[in-house]
Structure 1
Amino acid sequence: MVSSAEGPSVCGEGRSDPHELVFRTVPPDVGDAAVLVTAMLTEMRELYWDLGGVASGGLDLDAPDMPKAGPAELGPPAGTFLVGYRGGVAVCCGGLKRLPDGACEIKRMYVLPEARGHGVARRLLHALEDAARGLGYRVSRLDSGPRQPHATGLYDSEGYLPVENFNDNPVATYFGEKHL
């Protein structure tokens, strides 16, 4: 389950387990969400430093030729953005948006480097899929770039099947779809 920032806890609140994740719905441009999105954008720019031209300093996920994933797309009524907290600290985020054919697309999934390797990304993906079901979506899609093998491995292991480039992303090489 997922709660809003104002609402009750989602999963794990009231427990003392520091590894438990609590997900909250937060606009992607506010507070902890904005900090995590900025970290994700910085990491992607560095990972794909050779794309977007030398003057740009690397890949810009907010460039005009990239799929849109801002507050308007990742917010109500057709989208959402989650921040995952472990021990009260924001460690991951991700959102979803509506696609023209009625499916949803998972965007901006990110786990802080120090939280990786502990199943956080898998739990985040499950929370996003649960949120998608809650919004009435039956199909989820996502993409990933060629330098993110851990992400594509996760998506494959979670039942995402290859599909054609559904969002005109000029950088992604992995496009997956899952029936929820």
Structure 2
Amino acid sequence: MTGLPNDPGRRPSPRLDLALAPARTPTDLAAAAALFRDYAASLSVDLGYQGFEAEVAGLPGAYAPPDGALLLARDAAGTALGCVALRPLAPPEVCEMKRLYLAPAARGRGLGRRLVAAVLAEARRLGYREMRLDTLPDMAGAIALYARAGFRPIAPYYPTPVSGTLFLARTLDEPA
């Protein structure tokens, strides 16, 4: 699942001064693991069916270079406030966006849009031609963000026990 918890009553806050960079060091991977766990705790479903705990324990796993990426957003003090990842799918020119998450303090400031733009750019740089993702129907803010970034509904690309899962994709031949 990929998404941002829905909070329709939230008002936009000033844009954060953030640095986006690949998670490479043990400290980076620990920060990503903490954000992944916060993300999972915020969901209305259990991610056990996706092997979530093994994924976190094995970071960077499928998100490792040269075919994957795991990006962190840190504030000026070095606090990790958001993340997003991509991993390869089959066929080889297709990748999947995973684990887009923003800490509550970072929401409403354009960080989600920046992370999506960054992961799309990284996918293009790696030579992918299409990006897919899945999200939950109750994540209205995330769904709107993905639509603005050019994602459109597609048929399910894997079986899921979570009723109502939305599957989205976009080509990577032009920027969002």
Q: TM-score, normalised by structure 2?
A: 0.76
Conserved? CA contact 1:84–1:93, under 8 Å: yes
**Counterparts of 2:62 and 2:151 in 1: how far apart (Å)?**
22
Amino acid at match of 1:100: A
Structure 2 unaligned spans of 5+:
1-13
Following superposition, the deviation at residue 18 of structure 1 comes to 7.8
Q: Which moved more, 1:93-102 or 1:24-33?
A: 24-33
Query: Residue 17 of structure 2 is aligned with which of 10, 16, 20?
Result: 20
Partner of 2:63: 74
Conserved? CA contact 2:134–2:167, under 8 Å: yes
Q: TM-score, normalised by structure 1?
A: 0.74
Q: Percent sequence identity over matched residues?
A: 34
- Tell me: higher relative CO, structure 1 or 2? Use CA pairs within 8 A at least 6 residues apart: 2
Secondary structure at the counterpart of residue 104 of structure 1 = strand
**Counterparts of 1:156 and 1:69 in 2: how far apart (Å)?**
27
Q: Which moved more, 1:141-150 or 1:164-173?
A: 164-173
Query: Residue 146 of structure 1 is aligned with which of 133, 137, 151?
Result: 137
Partner of 2:9: none
Conserved? CA contact 1:83–1:93, under 8 Å: yes
Amino acid at match of 1:41: A
**Counterparts of 2:80 and 2:51 in 1: how far apart (Å)?**
30
Structure 1 unaligned spans of 5+:
1-16, 49-58
Query: Aligned runs of 1:27-176 on 2, under 5 Å?
Result: 30-44=29-43, 47-48=44-45, 59=46, 61-63=47-49, 71-87=60-76, 88-102=78-92, 103-171=94-162, 173-176=165-168
**Counterparts of 1:125 and 1:18 in 2: how far apart (Å)?**
16
**Counterparts of 2:98 and 2:123 in 1: how far apart (Å)?**
12
Following superposition, the deviation at residue 114 of structure 1 comes to 1.3
Secondary structure at the counterpart of residue 133 of structure 1 = helix
Following superposition, the deviation at residue 156 of structure 1 comes to 0.9
Conserved? CA contact 1:160–1:176, under 8 Å: yes
